[in-house]
A = this chain, B = another copy of it.
Amino acid sequence: MVDLDKLDRILKRLEEASGLEDLFRVIYEIRDAFAIDHAVYHWVDSKGEQYGCGTYSVAWKERYLARNYLRVDPVIIGCYTRFHPVDWKRLDWSSKAAREFLADAHEHGVGNQGYSIPIRGPNGQFALFTANHNCPDEDWAEFFEAHGRDLILIAHYFNRKALEFEPGRAPEQSRQLSPREVDAMTLLAMGYNRAQVADALAISEHTLRVYIESARFKLGALNTTHAVARAIGCGLIVV
């Protein structure tokens, strides 16, 4: 087990990190401290932008992006609906695309065992912190039994720094919707059309339109569907 001093040092290093390069250095330290093959922090934006920081090979990182694996990767898909950190074995690898993805990953040096921790920040920010290794199932179970808590803390501190470095994320209060706008977005997300929403809110359809347009404007959305998608992605409404 990683002793407290080691964990302490890693968290301190994370706290003191002053740039993305520092994070990149720390991720290697984490890998070495836990004696695993790979440690990876993977930021996924609600806009679909992503930022990875990890010990995977450059070739694999590029391939991941080039093949748009973000939309296939069961780790992303699985963790997105979970709070609990998850062992890769418990994810859904049944689809053909997922199996091909897995095979491809193995060929690029990704180990067979994985443990991923979902992390969420304000405005629908989402990230994953993953420990990856190549070993038998029993060893792996032992590993995350022993280090699960450490990894949660590391994931938390890592994301904290990553958010800090992310430009244009601090004063993002602009993305707040007024109560009426939230109502409108919520009902639209529930499948009602404008006439029904206006009726439900007991306002004229003209008024409703003003809300929708206003919300669209605030969210920087191109149309109603986009606005609803963003509102959900940003956690402004619940579906």
Q: Which of B71, B81, B189 is close to A234, meaning CB atoms less than 8 Å apart?
A: B81
Quick check: B222 and A192 within 8 Å, CB to CB? yes
Quick check: A189 and B121 within 8 Å, CB to CB? no
A107 is an interface residue with CB less than 8 A from chain B: no
For residues 110 through 140 of chain A, which have their beta carbon under 8 Å from a beta carbon of chain B? 118, 120-126
A191 is an interface residue with CB less than 8 A from chain B: yes
Q: Which residue of B lies closest to A221 (CB)?
A: B191
Q: Which residue of B lies closest to A150 (CB)?
A: B153
Quick check: B235 and A239 within 8 Å, CB to CB? no
A63 is an interface residue with CB less than 8 A from chain B: no
Name 24 interchain pairs, CB-CB below 8 A, sorted by A.
A11-B149, A44-B238, A45-B238, A70-B238, A71-B182, A77-B236, A77-B238, A80-B122, A80-B235, A81-B123, A92-B173, A123-B238, A124-B124, A124-B235, A124-B236, A126-B235, A189-B225, A190-B226, A191-B221, A191-B223, A191-B229, A193-B223, A232-B232, A232-B239
> Which residues of A line the B interface, CB within 8 A?
11, 44-48, 70-71, 76-77, 80-84, 92, 97, 118, 120-126, 149, 152-153, 156, 159-160, 163, 171-173, 179, 182, 186, 188-193, 221-226, 228-230, 232-239
7 other A-B residue contacts (CB within 8 Å) besides A44-B238, A47-B186: A48-B238, A81-B171, A156-B156, A188-B229, A189-B225, A228-B229, A232-B232
